[in-house]
Structure 1
Amino acid sequence: MKIIIGQGSCGIAAGANKVHTEFQNQIQSKALNVELTLTGCIGMCHLEPIVDIVDDDGEKTTYVKVKPEIVDEIITKHIIENKKVDEYMINEIDQMIIDKQERIALRNCGLINPEFIDEYIEKGGYKAAEKAITDMSPDEVIEEIKIAGLRGRGGAGFPTWFKWNAARKSLGETKYIVCNADEGDPGAFMDRSILEGDPHSLIEGMIIGGYAMGAKEGIVYVRAEYPLAIVRLKIAIKQAREKGFLGEKIFDDDKFNFDIRIKAGAGAFVCGEETALIASLEGERGMPRLKPPFPAQKGYWGKPTNINNVETFANVPWILSNGGKAFAALGTEKSKGTKVFALTGKIRKGGLVEVPMGITLREIIFDIGGGIKDNKKFKAVQMGGPSGGCIPAQLLDTPVDYDSINNTGAIMGSGGMVVMDETTCMVDMARFFLDFTRKESCGKCIYCRIGTKRMLEILTRICEGQGKDGDIELLEELGAKIKEGSLCGLGQTAPNPVLSTLRYFREEYEKHIYDKECPAKQCENLLSYNILKDKCIGCTLCARKCPVGAITGNVKQPHVIDNEKCIKCGECKKVCKFEAIEVK
């Protein structure tokens, strides 16, 4: 019998380490012959900590939201008395979230121990690399990736085979292959989960890529803010070397030597851009440079370099094992295969999902994500992170593919989906994302450095009730200039959250500017709190809870709020049991 505890970052944050310790103590104290092991995140972050118990006959039972205090009950009933504890088991609806998915990049996440290479090998690991190196030429490998139609999953969606082929055809003995694991989008954690849950899929994908383009060295550029991912990746690289999958004469090929090292980055968002990432690798400040020459011709230390992200590489072994046609059979004509998305924000079932390209936003958010929290009304979804845009409710049936998402004014990005409900202020949301890109700008381009600052100042004024006639037009003009005058993708996409919200929620901006109202009731300077006399019974609870004494009145008599004293903290509305507090 085996007990498997999900110990990705989300599981650990929910208390999985304490649960693991309690299982360990219970097994020892009861002298049970049970194997206790770990795995990564299976994607259902909202149900963590997750514990799987695999019986001797192979039947798996999944327990969710497990706390240390219920471990004894689970062990006593399930393991000793052989009775499942229905109260803590995953329900059918949540199980269907996994069953509905088509998992390729996440195929092993939550199923294997990422710190034990033999479990990856048992799942067919490194067979694809062996096939490529022993049975295929580099050109045949690239052709298989071309047949698959794999496009880069880091955001731009550039054809993977084309980049590999360009690096292969570039002159020179020394070439590099780089994995961009510098996942900087707020609300995105796809690459982190693969690194924590299945690092060998990345390593194997890089081995295949290195063979295809003639590179002898691979570098994983990963955020230093991903400590668990780095630890598990180091373990995986060490184990792969010990097995002979990395190093010299891989699979007895006298001509193919390949190894991988890790570079921890400082977490600069701009280093998601290829040339800025290369500058950082070389020890310079992460700043983009003009292209051409492209990295495939002149990259790391001036040598031909190919850069793909974690999810892209994780797809490669599956494609080599199952054939490019099998991958191309999924998705749409121009967007093949599957895509991993991180569902965050005002959604019931947040976490990771992997679905075929072409599925609609509605299916992802409502069928898989369970809809909106607290039965609120769906308002928009932010796609593409701070460089993306907001897609409104009327476009919920948009297919999720590169072209369709681009047509909405958003971008696919690396796969972040931040879901918003009716309580989200779209002006404030645009301000939040623009503040992020303004801080992350490297400052090289004047339009990006100064333009984003000016746009942020305007948005801040609007949210504070100081908006004026002409602000909307000025935002649109600045946004267009920044997109046109910026060198790299950060500046070219920085205005997207503002321009997309102006496109779909213009009336919300107008309400802020002309009526001095925030329809979502989030911008404090535009709010006023009043007590409805016909509902107030004079219980005095609101007055007692008001931190500044802005509420007065006699017992059993309607109370009054002094708006000059009111700091708009909302405490009165929270404590009122009679819905007597009105917010305008």
Structure 2
Amino acid sequence: MSNTLTPILSRNWDRPDSFTLEGYRATGGYGALRKAVTMEPDALVDLVKASGLRGRGGAGFPTGMKWGFLPKDNPNPRYLVVNADESEPGTCKDIPLMLANPHELIEGVAISAYAIKCSQAFIYVRGEVLHVIRRLRHAVAEAYEAGLLGKDILGSGFDLEVVVHSGAGAYICGEETALLDSLEGYRGQPRLKPPFPAVAGLYASPTVVNNVESIASVPSIVDNGADWFTSMGTEKSAGFGFFSLSGHVTRPGQYEAPLGITLRELLDMAGGVRAGHSLKFWTPGGSSTPIFTDEHLDTPLDFESVGAAGSMLGTRALQIFDETTCVVRAVGRWIAFYAHESCGKCTPCREGNFWMVQVLDRLENGEGTEADLDKLLDICDNLLGRAFCALGDGAASPVMSSIKYFRQEYIDHVERGGCPFDHAKSTVWGGGA
């Protein structure tokens, strides 16, 4: 795997006018839409299937296959919903994409809606990022004025209405069915599946829910073809994606590269772990994925390789922690987040995360026992695969993996009567020294 970056979605982020319609068009923007509306919708679906594009929101489900699940005999209208409720700790790719290049997403929405024969699309944005919401709404207004949204787009006879919807700050609304409930005006809580959104989603109608990066990748595939996309990445994880490096790294930021690149290669480009320190542990896909250590530096960052190594690629949010970081403290902060953000619908998640916070606090403060490690693993066993949605599985992941790799560090907290680390030296949630 080459360490060459592939600036495609981020190629124009250094332009001062990258977020405007004029700036986007100056670099070829909306050319893919002009091409798409001359094609048959089913041909576009087949093109995305052939590209091997997999969902960039975490699960990695094939995008074209998801589009193909929409029932052909359902008389209800079809909907496209873009999941822009980016709230996972460490995940920070969709928000800068929408801020720097909102028209890339809007063009992707128009092409995707045309492909699935839908005339109404929603972009559900995390409510806290007001600056992004304003920019996205301005870009949508520009597209309407230019005839790129609305009635008879580019004289093709294709109509599309796009609504930018602001969420209310609930992490659980990143789960697709909770997002749909929120869009309908209900409290955001996961639905029982089946039926899946493709059959009965928004307003009980066939619905496609895709991540921002997934949809924003569609115009480049239409422009350049499936073979171009599959020439990057690996056989089963094709294409490119953002790798978001944060934490104890010299140059944190977005690195757009082919899937299959390794953390060692990314760190080489990012200047390595901060000066004078060494890598201790890291997350391959945000805080809800099992942690890795320095022994995984050369694991290819694609869906299959990361899974085979015992974690998940997720959103490619690579949080880097050096040897000054207390793993018990870091995991405790993550679980406190999940306990706070649990919707409370199911007992395993509601109770399990609450009690894990109590146990982890005891351990960090030197008031726990070695038996508390078994208690944590027992709680995780009752969470994993038993919660109503993936939040429970995500919360269990860092706990189980941290005990697997750093059991002695947990025991040290017990034997020494408190945390042996100087937290002032860690700056664990910072981006440097």
| TM-score normalised by structure 2 residue count | 0.94
1:520 CA drift (Å): 3.5
CA distance in 2 between partners of 1:282 and 1:139 (Å): 29
1:130-176 superposed Cα distances (whole Å, 9 cap, x missing partner): 11111x11111011111110001011111000111112636124111
Q: Supply the AA of the counterpart residue of 1:450.
A: E
Larger Rg belongs to: 1
The aligned counterpart of 2:177 is 275
Matched, 1:127 2:28: no
CA distance in 2 between partners of 1:353 and 1:120 (Å): 21
1:397 CA drift (Å): 0.9
Q: Supply the AA of the counterpart residue of 1:266.
A: A
Q: Supply the AA of the counterpart residue of 1:403.
A: E
Whether contact under 8 Å (2:127, 2:169) holds in the other structure is yes
The aligned counterpart of 2:6 is 102
1:168-222 superposed Cα distances (whole Å, 9 cap, x missing partner): 6361241110111110012322111111111011011111110111110111100
1:110-133 superposed Cα distances (whole Å, 9 cap, x missing partner): 236144212211211111111111
CA distance in 1 between partners of 2:71 and 2:44 (Å): 11
**Match among 501, 506, 510 for residue 407 of structure 2:** 506
Matched, 1:249 2:152: yes
CA distance in 2 between partners of 1:375 and 1:406 (Å): 31
The aligned counterpart of 2:78 is 175
The aligned counterpart of 1:343 is 245
Whether contact under 8 Å (1:188, 1:342) holds in the other structure is yes
The aligned counterpart of 2:67 is 164
SS in structure 1 at match of 2:82 = strand
SS in structure 1 at match of 2:123 = strand
1:221-370 matches, within 5 Å, as 221-254=124-157, 256-364=158-266, 366-370=267-271
CA distance in 1 between partners of 2:136 and 2:367 (Å): 50
CA distance in 1 between partners of 2:420 and 2:54 (Å): 40
Which runs of 5 or more residues in structure 1 are unaligned?
Answer: 1-98, 525-584
**Match among 348, 357, 361 for residue 447 of structure 1:** 348
1:417 CA drift (Å): 1.4
1:454-465 matches, within 5 Å, as 454-465=355-366
Q: Supply the AA of the counterpart residue of 2:155.
A: D
1:200-253 superposed Cα distances (whole Å, 9 cap, x missing partner): 110111111101111101111001211221121111111111111101111222
CA RMSD of aligned residues (A): 1.7
**Match among 376, 380, 393 for residue 281 of structure 2:** 380
Whether contact under 8 Å (2:246, 2:253) holds in the other structure is yes
SS in structure 1 at match of 2:238 = coil
1:445-496 superposed Cα distances (whole Å, 9 cap, x missing partner): 1000001111111111000001113111121111121012101111122111
Whether contact under 8 Å (2:328, 2:410) holds in the other structure is yes
1:427 CA drift (Å): 0.9
CA distance in 2 between partners of 1:426 and 1:514 (Å): 16
Count of paired positions: 423
1:375-410 superposed Cα distances (whole Å, 9 cap, x missing partner): 211111123323122210111111101122233443
The aligned counterpart of 2:368 is 467
Matched, 1:204 2:104: no
**Match among 268, 272, 292 for residue 371 of structure 1:** 272
CA distance in 1 between partners of 2:337 and 2:273 (Å): 25
Q: Supply the AA of the counterpart residue of 2:37.
A: I
The aligned counterpart of 1:116 is 20
Which runs of 5 or more residues in structure 2 are unaligned?
Answer: 426-433
Whether contact under 8 Å (1:409, 1:496) holds in the other structure is no
Whether contact under 8 Å (1:168, 1:213) holds in the other structure is no
CA distance in 1 between partners of 2:254 and 2:116 (Å): 31
Q: Supply the AA of the counterpart residue of 1:192.
A: I
CA distance in 2 between partners of 1:189 and 1:227 (Å): 15
Q: Supply the AA of the counterpart residue of 1:234.
A: R
CA distance in 1 between partners of 2:207 and 2:167 (Å): 18
Matched residues, percent identical?
A: 41
Q: Pick 1 or 2: higher relative contact order, CA cutoff 8 A, min separation 6.
A: 2
CA distance in 1 between partners of 2:130 and 2:305 (Å): 36
* Inter-CA distance 313–287: structure 2 relative to 1 (3 Å threshold): same
1:401-427 superposed Cα distances (whole Å, 9 cap, x missing partner): 112223344322222111100100011
Q: Supply the AA of the counterpart residue of 2:354.
A: K
Whether contact under 8 Å (1:349, 1:370) holds in the other structure is yes
The aligned counterpart of 1:185 is 88
The aligned counterpart of 2:396 is 495
Matched, 1:412 2:316: no
SS in structure 1 at match of 2:235 = coil
* Inter-CA distance 412–486: structure 2 relative to 1 (3 Å threshold): same
Q: Supply the AA of the counterpart residue of 2:52.
A: G
The aligned counterpart of 1:479 is 380
CA distance in 2 between partners of 1:235 and 1:154 (Å): 24
CA distance in 1 between partners of 2:71 and 2:48 (Å): 14
| TM-score normalised by structure 1 residue count | 0.70
Q: Supply the AA of the counterpart residue of 2:284.
A: M
Q: Supply the AA of the counterpart residue of 2:208.
A: N
CA distance in 2 between partners of 1:169 and 1:212 (Å): 13
